Amino acid sequence: MANVLAVRSERSLLIHRGLWSNPALVGAVLLTFLLNLAVIYTPLLQGFFDTVALSAAELAICVALSAGIFAVVELEKWLTRRRATYIWNT
């Protein structure tokens, strides 16, 4: 879900575009996050989807990996822009 926020622009960083510049996308990400939590932690949905609750450590790992992917994509965009600026100015 963090990846979709990072890749919605090929060149602009999320911090430059603003998180709320596409409220429908933010809503979709939040809804997806909440539905995932419901499937993981609601007993009725656990039985239907055959899932088990994640521990706090397991959930933290998932969030950290997602944040890591987001950071790598944003870093790649930043480095690409920096390199293009350097080449343009030399």
Per-position b or e across 20-59, b if 16+ CB within 10 A of its CB: eeeeeeeeebeeeeeeeeeebeeeeeeeeeeeeeeeeeee
Average pLDDT score, the chain: 92
Is the pLDDT assigned to residue 11 strictly greater than 90? no
Alpha helices per DSSP H over 8-55? 14-17, 23-41, 43-49
55: DSSP letter: P
Q: How many CB atoms lie within 10 A of CB 65?
A: 11
The pTM (predicted TM-score) of the whole model is 0.79
pLDDT at 72: 95
| Tokens 């997806």 sit on residue | 32
